[in-house]
Structure 1
Amino acid sequence: MAKWDNMLSMLWMLRSGRKLTAAQIADSLEISVRTVYRYIDALCASGVPVVAESGHDGGIRILESFMETPLFFNSVELKALVDANKFAQAAGYPYTEELESALKKVENGLHEEQRHDLFRQTSSLDVISPARPPSVVPLLRDLERAAKDGRTIRIAYRKPNVKQADEREVDPYGLAYDRNEWYTVAFCHRSQAMRTFRVDRIARLEPTEARFVKPERFSASAYFRDQSEREREADGPLAVVRIAGEPDTLNAVCGHWHLRHYLTERTDREAWFQLDVPTMNKYLPMYLVTFGTAICIREPLELKRQIQKMAYGIAKLYEDDPD
C-alpha cells in the first residue's frame, strides 16, 4: 500500500476514538512500528492533532476537536471521484459545475505529492462526449426540480420526423440516462398514460400551478425494464440463445436496446440470453442476420435454422436476378 494510503488508513483507525498502540497499528497495516511513528510525525506536521501517551493506559489517539473534520480519501477513491466526474460531464449531467466545485474542495486539501499522484493516475482516462444541444442541461435541471416539487409542467415536444412541436401537460416522475440520451418518464395528461420523452426533443418547458403526487418508490430504470418485459410476445416457453463472436461485435448485440434486458451471462467470446420463444422467432432472425458472418448462433437449433433459411432466401434472390 502506498505511503499516503497507509497514513489515511491509520487516520481512519484513530478517528474511531479508541486509543491504539503503535504495535496494534503496525500489525493492522502490516508495517513496522518505526514507520508508524514516522507517519505520526508526518500527520502532526500536516496539522492533525495526534497525541501519543505513555504509561499503562497510554496509546495513540487524536483530539476530539478533529473528529468532525471532512472525510479523507485514499488514492484509488480520489481517482474514482475524478473519473466519475469525467463520465458525468460526457453524459451531460446537469450539476457538473457543482461537482467540479466539490472536487476542487477535495483537491485543495491534498498535499503536493498527493496532487501529483492523482494527476498521474487520472490523466490516462478520457471520456468522449457526444454533441448535445446547449438547452439540455437547463432542461434537465427544470425536469428534476419539477419531479422533486411534484409540479406539473407544460412542454412543447417534437416527435421524430415531425417539424411542428405539439404541446402537452405532463407530470415528470424521474430522469433516466439510456443509450447516450436523457429521458424523462412522465404521466401524460393528454394520453392519460405513462410516457417517455427524450429531453433533447423538448423545445420548451414551463411550470404550471398544478401539482401531482409521484407514485411511492418510483424508479425510472425499473419503468424501462418493465416496458421491455411488456413487449414480449408471450410468457413462455423460454429459450436459451447462445451467440458467439468477437468482443466488439458481441458488445453491439448485448447493447441492443431491447435484447440487453434478456442477457444472462457474458464472456469475451460468447453471450447467453433467455427469452420467450415467440419473441425470439419474431425479432431475432431479422436482427441477427444483419451481423452476417461476424457472429455464430450456437443454440437453439430452431433459431439457427430460421437464420439459415433467411440467408438462403437472400442468396436465392440475387442468384435469380439477371442484373
Structure 2
Amino acid sequence: MRASRLVSTLLLLQSRGRMTAQELADTLEVSIRTVYRDMESLSAAGIPLYGEPGHDGGYQLLDGYRTRLTGLTTGEAETLFLAGLPTAAADLGLGAVVTAAQLKLMAALPRELRDRAGRIAERFHLDAPAWYHNGDQTAHLTAVADAVWDQHTVRMRYERWAEPREVTRTVQPYGLVLKAGHWYLVARSADQMRTYRVSRILDLEVDAEKFDRAPDFDLVGHWQAYLEHFDARRHRGQATLRLSPNVFARLPQLLEPALVSAARLTASEPGSDGWIQVTIPIESPEHTLPELLKLGAEAEILTPAELRDHITNTVAAMARRYYG
C-alpha cells in the first residue's frame, strides 16, 4: 500500500507540478503527517524534489526530472477503457481522437493486459440519454468546448424560459457538463456563475479576448451545489398525498428521486385500508399535475386545496372529453 502511494505521489508531482502538503493529503486521502513522511522517504531514495514553505509554497520535482514508473496494473488498464465516454467525445468532435488514443494505448500494453482491457469495450457500454429521450441537438457544442478549453470569452444569443425569451449574454465559459443526455455550459456572467443549456444557444461568437480562469474553481463541486440549489429553488411548496401500497412500492419508477426520497421519509403507518400518507415537495400546480397524474386512481391529493382542485378539474375535463 505504501509503495503504491509513493508512486502515486511521484506521478502527481510529475503531472501537476507544485502541490502543497494539504493538496497531496486530500488527493491521496491520507493525513498531512503521512505526506511529510512520504516526502522524506522519496528524498532519501534519491528523488530530486524540494519543498518551499509559505502560502505559495509546496513540493515539486526538480525541473526536467521525469520518472519512468508509468506501468499500468490490470485494473488500471481496464478502467481506462471503462472511463471513456464515446458518445460525449463524439458530441465534442473528439470521437476520432479518443479512438486513436485507445488504439495507441492498446498497442503499448503487454499482451495480457491488452486482452483484458479489450474485453471492456465488448462487455460495457454507456448510453447517457434517459429512456425514451434523445440527446439535445447541440449545433454550437464544439465551438463552446473550444472556448472552454482556450479560455475565450463568448457572446451568445440565448433562449430562456422567462420573458424576454431571447437574451444576449457575454460570458466566460468555465466548463461543460453532460447530464442525462443534455449538455450544460457553466460560465461566469456579470461576476456570477450561471448555467446555460447548450441546445438553447441560438447564435454564438467566440471573441479573440481571453479571460483569466479563477484558479480555485471546482467544476464538480459547483455542479453539485447548483443541483442542490436548483431543487430547493423549484420545490417551494409541499403536498400531502394518500397512496395505495402498490403505488407506494412503485414510486421509484413513477417519480423523480427527490420526491421518492421525501415520500419515504414522511411515510405514515398504513391505515386500515393499507394506504399510506406522505408529504412531498412540489413546484407550482401546473408543473406538479403531470407528475401526479402518473399515479392514477391509486393516489389522492389531500393538500394543498389548489392542487387538489386543479387535478379534480383536469380529470373532470378528461371525462367529459371521453364520455361527453
TM-score, structure 1 as length reference: 0.52
Give 2:198's aligned residue. 199
Query: How far apart are the structure 1 equivalents of 2:252 and 2:78?
Result: 29
Give 2:43's aligned residue. none
Write out per-residue CA displacement over residues 73-125 of structure 1, whole angstroms, 9 at most, x where no aligned residue: 31x44333223214563683565555444433331233444433333343133
**Superposed displacement of residue 184, structure 1:** 1.4
Structure-2 change in CA distance of 1:223 and 1:288 (3 Å): closer
Structure-2 change in CA distance of 1:106 and 1:173 (3 Å): closer
**Aligned counterpart for 1:145 among listed residues 143, 147, 150:** 150
Give 2:248's aligned residue. 244
Q: Give secondary structure in 1 for the equivalent of 2:123.
A: coil
Runs of 5+ unmatched residues, structure 1:
1-8, 17-66, 255-259, 266-270
Query: How far apart are the structure 2 equivalents of 1:263 and 1:137?
Result: 37
Q: Give secondary structure in 1 for the equivalent of 2:186.
A: strand
Is 1:72 the counterpart of 2:72? The answer is: yes
Matches within 5 A, 1:1-323: 68-74=68-74, 76-86=75-85, 89=88, 92-93=91-92, 96-128=95-127, 130=134, 132-133=137-138, 135-146=140-151, 151-159=152-160, 167-189=168-190, 194-202=193-201, 203-209=203-209, 211=211, 214=214, 216-219=216-219, 220-221=222-223, 222-233=225-236, 244-246=248-250, 250-251=252-253, 253-254=255-256, 260-261=257-258, 264=261, 272=264, 279-280=281-282, 282-283=284-285, 286-293=289-296, 302=302, 313-319=313-319, 323=324
Q: Give secondary structure in 2 for the equivalent of 1:71.
A: coil
Over aligned residues, Cα RMSD in angstroms?
5.0
Paired residue total: 238
Amino acid at match of 1:182: W
Q: Give secondary structure in 1 for the equivalent of 2:119.
A: helix
**Superposed displacement of residue 204, structure 1:** 1.8
Amino acid at match of 1:108: A
Query: How far apart are the structure 2 equivalents of 1:194 and 1:116?
Result: 45
Is the contact made by 2:239 and 2:281 (CA closer than 8 Å) also made in structure 1? no
Is the contact made by 2:170 and 2:189 (CA closer than 8 Å) also made in structure 1? yes
Query: How far apart are the structure 2 equivalents of 1:166 and 1:304?
Result: 36
**Superposed displacement of residue 136, structure 1:** 1.6
Is the contact made by 1:159 and 1:165 (CA closer than 8 Å) also made in structure 2? yes
Amino acid at match of 2:106: E
**Superposed displacement of residue 72, structure 1:** 1.0
Structure-2 change in CA distance of 1:216 and 1:228 (3 Å): farther
Runs of 5+ unmatched residues, structure 2:
9-66, 129-133, 267-277
Amino acid at match of 2:146: R
Query: How far apart are the structure 1 equivalents of 2:198 and 2:298?
Result: 37
Share of identical aligned residues, percent?
Answer: 16
